[in-house]
Amino acid sequence: MDLKAPLYKRFEKYAKLDTQSDGDSKTFPSTAKQLVLARLLAAELKAIGAKKVKLDKFGYVTAEIPATVKGRVPAIGFLAHMDTSPDASGKNVRPQVHRKWKGGDIVISRRHGVILNTRNCPELAACRGEDIVTASGDTLLGADNKAGLAIIMTAAEYLLKHKEIPHGPLKIGFTPDEEVGQGVKHFDVKSFGASAAYTFDGDVAGAVEQENFNADGLKITITGKSVHPGTAKNALANAARIAADIAASWPENLLPETTEKREGFVMFTDISGGIEKAELSGIVREHDLKKLKAMERQLAAIVAAKRLKYPLARIELAFREQYRNMNAIVSGRPEVMKKLLAAVRAAGLEPHVKPVRGGTDGARLSFMGLPTPNVFTGGYNYHGRYEWVSLDGMNKSAEVLVNLARGWAE
C-alpha cells in the first residue's frame, strides 16, 4: 500500500484551514471556523461513495462504509478530531515536505530559528529516509489531528475502491473541540452504532495507547484590595502578586517539563489580572486517579496557606473533571486491543503500547460505552512550531486501519 500522495494532498488541504478551538467559548462547537472543515469532510465523504453521511447541528460528521461480507460482523468505528490546539497559531499554515530526510537539521524556519533535529526531538531518529512534513515556523502544523482526518479519509476511499477486501460495516466520525476537552460532549454513541472504535490521534509509527491521563481543570480566583502604594502597609492585597506566589509555590518536580512516562503534574496555563482581581487557570494530570486527587489536595493546602498569608484577599479554588483513564473500560474488552496489535504487526511494525500523556476523545467515548483505544498517526511535537509528521508513518497508519477492517471480519 502506497497512499502517500493522496494522504499528503488531503493533509495539506486540511492543514491550511484554521480550525482552532476556544476553551473560553460558550458555544458548541467552540468556533464556527471548525464547521468549514466539517462541511468539506462531509462533501468528500459523499464524493468517495460513503453512505449515511451526516453533518449534525453540533458539527459532528458521521458516515458509513457498507460491509463487503455477509453475516453478523461487528460494526467498527474510526474517529479523528477536526480542531487544532489554541496553544499556537493555526492561521495561514504553510506545510512543507522535507523529502527522504537523511538525518541532520530540518530547517523549519531559519528566520525564526526553528530547527528540528534528533537533539531536540530524539523521536525523529526512527524516521531517517522518510518524507517529513512541517509547517513554516510561524504556526503549528495541525497534524494533531488533521493527519488523523487524512488517514481515515484516504483509507476509506481505498476500501470503497477495493470491495474485494472483506470487512463488516465501518463507521466514521469526525469531532470538533477535542483540544478543549469537549469533543464528544454531544456525541450520540447509540446512533453511531459501533461495537468498538479507534481514534487515529497518536504519535510516532507503531505507538498504540489504551491508557490516558485522568484529567481535571483547575481555576484559582483571587480578589485583592487596592489602596495607594504610599499607604499600603497592612492594607494592600495585590491579587497579581498573590497569583504569582501560588504558582511559584507548586513543586518544580511536579510540572510537565520535569515529568515523563506515568508521572503526573499540575500545569498553570494562564495567569491574568491586576491588583484587585487575578486568575490562574490550569490542568491536573495523572494516570492513577488516587494520585490525581492527592495532587489536588496538595494544591488546596497551598491555597489554604496563602489565605492565611494574605488575610485581606479572597482566594477561591475549583476543580472541574475533564476525562478519565480509558484503561478501566478498554481492558474489559481485550479483543479490541488484540485486533489492534495484530493490525499493527500486519503492517510490518512492532507495536509499542504506552500510556498517553494527555487525552483523546476515546477516553470519554470509552466511558460512554464505546471502548476506543488510540492509534498512531506518525507525528510528534504537537501544538507548536516544531510539530512534524512523517508521510511514511501516515501511510503505515492507513494500512493499520485497513488491517483492522479486515481483522474484525475474520
Site of grid cell 504558582: 247
Pair 320, 219: CB distance under 8 Å:
yes
Crossing angle of helices 34-48 and 143-161, rounded to 10°: 10
C-alpha distances out from residue 351 to 198, 206, 376, Å? 15, 5, 10
Cis peptide bond N-terminal to 145, omega within 30: yes
Q: What is the DSSP string of 84-145?
A: B-TTS--SS---EEETT--SS-EEEETTTTEEE-TTT-GGGGGGTTS-EEE--SSS---HHH
Residue of 18, 44, 64, 83 marked catalytic: 83
Between CA 46 and CA 48 the distance in angstroms is 6
Catalytic residue among 144, 157, 178, 361: 178
Bridge partners, 318 (sequence order): 219
Question: What's the length of the chain?
Answer: 410
Closest by CA position to 193, among listed 64, 17, 331, 302: 64
Residue 130 annotated to the active site: no
Phi, then psi, of 65 in degrees rounded to 5: -105, 115
83 is catalytic: yes
> Are the beta carbons of 205 and 111 closer than 8 angstroms?
no
158/402 Cα distance (integer angstroms): 8
- List all residues 6 or more positions away from 180 whose beta carbon is below 8 Å from its beta carbon: 21, 22, 23, 25, 30, 83, 86
| Alpha-carbon distances of 79 from 52, 147, 267, 309, rounded to whole Å | 16, 12, 28, 49
Residue 405 to residue 394: CA distance in whole angstroms: 17
407: helix, coil or strand? helix
What are the cell numbers at 144?
494533531
What is the separation of C-alpha 58 from the centre of its chain, rounded to a whole number of angstroms? 19
Using the 8-state DSSP alphabet, how is residue 255 labeled? S
Q: What amino acid positions are annotated as catalytic residues? A: 83, 178
